[in-house]
Chains A and B, each alone.
Chain A
Amino acid sequence: MTFVSIRDLKVSFDGVQVLHGIDLDVDRGAAVGLVGESGCGKSVTWLAALGLLPGKASVSGSVVVDGQQLIGTQRASVESVRGGKIAMIFQDPSSSLNPVRTVGRQIGESLTLHRGLDRRAGRIEAIRLLDMVGIPDAGRRVDLYPHEFSGGQCQRVMIAMALAGEPDLLIADEPTTALDATIQAQILDLLGMLRRETGMAMVFISHDLGAVGAICDDINVMYAGNIVESGGIDQMFAHPRHPYTRGLFDAIPRLDGARNRLIPINGTVPDPRHMPTGCAFAPRCAKASAFCNSARPPLKPQKDGRQLACCYPMIGSGDVADVSPEMVPA
């Protein structure tokens, strides 16, 4: 059952379009990953959907959460969804927390706002939440300030705060990027555990394909404000079809096997003010032809269930049935 349905979401800043029509569905209880290089619009998609972009951004399209339209509606109705039905956590936990209030009071604020708990009940619930996200000695530490927690623990506090409104969907925007490897493993484990226990849906935004793979069932690959490929995690990891997805995998150094030269994606993400005509990835793509520069390929459903926006997709290894003739231009 679809919980969030985004249709043709477009965003521009000062007349420069940065999102070119995103269609995305998140089912109840699903875990969806959003990957791509920085500047591809991963975060902007969800900031726009939740009305968190600055005033100079113009947003169009439709975002329906549980039957309720969010784009172009009253601020109050968006606020009832934000934090209550959908919560978001960010990359840098220490800048998201208020340094002069105890973590217990900050979590309590969410509890008062979304669940109407008074201060006493809020404190008890805050301790339960801190305990749930793995803060040791929660009963005592609820009265401490953010600077008394380490980076990994601050991220746990942020997660506890996000859980305070009992959301149906948690959006995690690069939640482990700023953390050390062993702490990253702990937080990924925690997010997986919370998903199993609460049944909430999760959107995981990251540039780390390994981390996304550990959490998500489906992934969407974004490039220059478009979704270029999406599908189930297993098929996407086994046979990436879009040359960009393939490039992202190839660029990751391996932890086993030979230490070969890495295969980078040449060039950089295009400037949104000077977007190439046609496929935005064509200037960096080894498979591109003149045809790719003429028109932007639309995101089309494929026979194997995934969606793909490419005229010359990679052929799945040893999988002849994978070639879809309708995608080859006449």
Chain B
Amino acid sequence: MTALIKAKGLVRCYEGQKSLFKRPTPVRAVDGVDLTVAPGETLGIVGESGSGKSTLGRMLLGIDPPTEGHVTFDSQPMPPLQSPSWRTLRAQMQLIYQDPLAALDRRLTIADQIGEPLEIHGLAKGAELKERVEDLLVQVGLRRDQGDRYPHELSGGQRQRVVIARALATSPRLLVCDEPVSALDVSIQAQVVNLLRDLQDSHGIAMVFISHDLKVVRNICDRVAVMYLGRIVEEASSDQIFASPQHPYTQALVSSVPVPGKALEGRILLKGEPPNPALRPTGCAFHPRCGSAVAACASAVPLLEPVAAGRSSACHLSSVSKGLAA
């Protein structure tokens, strides 16, 4: 199957603190990421804050130019930011943010905001536009008459539905969702997750779903990539990664999720915190917090290698065990 979007060797460097006395240290927020998303597939990206999830999402859409590497959409290279061809392409790929109130204009009615992408891309106008907007409102579970409301008159869950309706307006083929349900209560979160699942089924939209909430990611994603300090450390199908995590970091991440009715005992507690990306540890970036690190982990960077059919992991230990098994 041909990939809808494909990233190869993506790197994003930010200049560190500028100071008169210190040389600026470049921060590699994303450090060599390869990934592909097939049409209609949902890829989850999980990791702690500062692991480069959002930067990666922005690079996939071409909003943030990669320092190295390249992105292809539909086998065509991503046009440069703000060029006319990039603007045209943007109709096919949309972004949903975490905070719907910040993503909406408080002075425009929601119908105007949902209709705006249609006007910009010249897809509809007049009565057709009005009809299309009402259609979209109904699709995301809002009422037609709510189009005249302003964002502050809606609840958090309804606002997120408006943001989703606006993203759907241009019938995109790719949706990048950056923590779309993190700001919502669990009961409302379930409503929005179900909505996104319905849209996947009815429209066949491919999604990149960025979240730190593993329970939601498991529910909605086909495949999951785990990021740590700018690199993908494990990638596998959603069922595999949660049932039998391979990388020690994924294991700790999965075990740290508090599940109702499960005691704290027996969970893997990591020591310390994610390191500063400007001071990346040598070798495997995870080795200072890893319970099973060996001498090789501090010196050599493990590569993301296939460990089984459809899954890969970047860990010296899994490649050692694979070597023994072979």
Across the interface, which residues of A come within 8 angstroms of B323, CB to CB?
none
* Partner of A255 from B155, B187, B191, B218 at Cβ < 8 Å: B218
* Partner of B270 from A182, A208, A214 at Cβ < 8 Å: A182
- A96 interfacial by beta-carbon distance below 8 Å: no
Report whether over half of chain B's contact residues are helix, strand or loop; otherwise say mixed: helix
Is B261 a contact partner of A237 (Cβ separation < 8 A)? yes
Per-position 1/0 for A178-202, Cβ under 8 A of B:
0011111110110010000000000
Is B273 a contact partner of A152 (Cβ separation < 8 A)? yes
Compute how far the CA of A329 lies from the CA of B19 in the bound complex, rounded to whole angstroms: 73
Within 8 A of B (CB), among A140-156: 150-153
Compute how far the CA of A189 lies from the CA of B212 in the bound complex, rounded to whole angstroms: 20
- A100 interfacial by beta-carbon distance below 8 Å: no
- A254 interfacial by beta-carbon distance below 8 Å: yes
Is A210 a contact partner of B258 (Cβ separation < 8 A)? yes
Within 8 A of A (CB), among B200-221: 212, 214-216, 218-219
* Partner of B256 from A153, A185, A207 at Cβ < 8 Å: A185
- A247 interfacial by beta-carbon distance below 8 Å: yes
- B320 interfacial by beta-carbon distance below 8 Å: no
Is A214 a contact partner of B263 (Cβ separation < 8 A)? yes
Give the interface of A toward B (CB within 8 A): 37-38, 136, 150-153, 180-186, 188-189, 192, 207-211, 213-215, 237-238, 247-249, 251-256, 259, 261-266, 268
Known A38-B185, A183-B273, A259-B219: A249·B193 in contact at CB below 8 Å: no
The smallest beta-carbon distance between A50 and chain B, in angstroms, is 25
Compute how far the CA of A184 lies from the CA of B267 in the bound complex, rounded to whole angstroms: 12
Is B258 a contact partner of A251 (Cβ separation < 8 A)? no
Q: How many A-B residue pairs have CB under 8 A?
A: 121
Count chain B residues whose beta carbon lies closer than 8 angstroms to a beta carbon of A. Answer: 44
Is B188 a contact partner of A268 (Cβ separation < 8 A)? yes
Is B261 a contact partner of A238 (Cβ separation < 8 A)? yes
Q: Known A-B contacts: A180-B48, A213-B261. Give 9 more (CB < 8 A).
A: A182-B256, A207-B186, A208-B186, A213-B262, A215-B264, A251-B190, A254-B215, A262-B194, A268-B157
23 chain-A/chain-B pairs, Cβ below 8 angstroms? A37-B186, A150-B273, A180-B49, A181-B214, A183-B48, A185-B264, A185-B267, A185-B270, A207-B186, A213-B261, A248-B187, A251-B186, A251-B187, A253-B215, A253-B216, A254-B215, A254-B218, A255-B215, A259-B219, A262-B190, A262-B193, A264-B191, A268-B188
- B197 interfacial by beta-carbon distance below 8 Å: yes
Is A182 a contact partner of B185 (Cβ separation < 8 A)? no
Compute how far the CA of A254 lies from the CA of B188 in the bound complex, rounded to whole angstroms: 16
User: Which 5 residue pairs spanning A and B have beta carbons closest together?
Assistant: A210-B258, A264-B190, A265-B187, A262-B190, A185-B256
Is B242 a contact partner of A256 (Cβ separation < 8 A)? yes
Compute how far the CA of A237 lies from the CA of B273 in the bound complex, rounded to whole angstroms: 31
Across the interface, which residues of A come within 8 angstroms of B215, CB to CB?
252-255
The smallest beta-carbon distance between B36 and chain A, in angstroms, is 22
The smallest beta-carbon distance between A255 and chain B, in angstroms, is 6
Compute how far the CA of A150 lies from the CA of B258 in the bound complex, rounded to whole angstroms: 22
User: Closest A-chain residue to B271, C-beta based?
Assistant: A186
Across the interface, which residues of B come within 8 angstroms of A256, CB to CB?
242-243
Is A210 a contact partner of B260 (Cβ separation < 8 A)? yes
Within 8 A of A (CB), among B224-259: 238-239, 242-243, 252-259
- B274 interfacial by beta-carbon distance below 8 Å: yes
User: Closest A-chain residue to B239, C-beta based?
Assistant: A259
The smallest beta-carbon distance between B256 and chain A, in angstroms, is 4
Is A208 a contact partner of B258 (Cβ separation < 8 A)? yes
Across the interface, which residues of B come within 8 angstroms of A181, CB to CB?
48, 212, 214, 253, 256-257
Is B267 a contact partner of A255 (Cβ separation < 8 A)? no
Compute how far the CA of A238 lies from the CA of B218 in the bound complex, rounded to whole angstroms: 23
